[in-house]
Amino acid sequence: MKFDKDPDAFLQPTRYCDCDHPTIEQLAHNVVSSYASEKEKAEALFYWVKENVRFEFGPWGVKTSEVLKTKGGMCTTKANLLVALLRAARIPAGYMILKVNTKEFYRELMCPSFGKLVSPDTTHVCVGVVLDGEWRLCDPSVDGELNKALRKTTPFAEMTGFNISEKEIEKIEGVLTRTEFLANIDEDLDKLPKNAKGTTLEVLNSYLEFLRESSNLETLSSRQMEENFLYWLSKRNSPYFAIMKQLSS
């Protein structure tokens, strides 16, 4: 897609995209200093965020400089961090917001009983970077460890890549709508989660840990994976096990 907007708008800091923060500027410099072309720099920043910030559920409204401290975040915060690093490297970047069917898009990240914890539709955020006058879509959400655990079969995992083509995104199941590339999504990041908060958030993150630690998941159905998760949770956290047991009954 041709880039036909004011590039300055896609280089500026915002409340949550604090690309002018010293730690963001220093990291961007460190990552890209050995590369010559903007494509090489953008790709290096993409893989840094993808692999150095673990995917985990959490709040949206977090400054990118704070994400660096925790080294964890979900699609919104990882996308925001990548945009900040790209802008700090003087490469125009923005956001695309997707509305997705939760069950279809996330699949194994949402075992059957999670349908009672989360909304049927949810928001997913990915990144647009401007290279050679064209928008390139990329999504750093899923780190390599989680991607391996997911067996690369979920649309969510399929979205994770640099320079995702239009044909590829059209084939991804569960995508309901998507926006144009946006320069500022602070108002969206201000929104409080409806369901993924408090104990629900902790249970969801416990499931991520279960996936990361498990092996031989290839032959299991979603229901079998949930049963395995219940057993795993019973050994790790009895209060969360009680919550899940009630949901699954």
What does the pLDDT look like over 24-56, one tens digit per residue? 999 999 999 999 999 999 999 999 999 999 999
In a domain, 245, yes or no: no
Residue 235: how many other CB atoms lie within 10 Å: 8
Indicate which CATH number applies to the domain containing 56: 3.10.620
123-136, pLDDT tens digit by residue? 999 999 999 999 99
Would you say 81 and 63 are in contact if contact means Cβ atoms under 8 Å apart?
no
In a domain, 149, yes or no: yes
In a domain, 246, yes or no: no
In a domain, 229, yes or no: no
245 to 29, 204, 214, 226: CA distances (angstroms): 48, 14, 20, 10
In a domain, 227, yes or no: no
The domain total for the chain is 1
57-110, pLDDT tens digit by residue? 988 999 999 999 999 999 999 999 999 999 999 999 999 999 999 888 887 777
In a domain, 197, yes or no: no
Q: What are phi and psi of 127, to 5 degrees?
A: -120, 140
In a domain, 196, yes or no: no
pLDDT score recorded for residue 3: 79
Q: What are phi and psi of 106, to 5 degrees?
A: -95, -25
Would you say 30 and 17 are in contact if contact means Cβ atoms under 8 Å apart?
no
In a domain, 210, yes or no: no
Q: Of 238, 215, 190, 187, whose CA–CA distance to 61 is shortest?
A: 190
Range of the structural domain that residue 68 is part of: 7-191
197-246, pLDDT tens digit by residue? 678 888 889 999 998 988 766 677 778 888 888 999 999 888 888 888 88
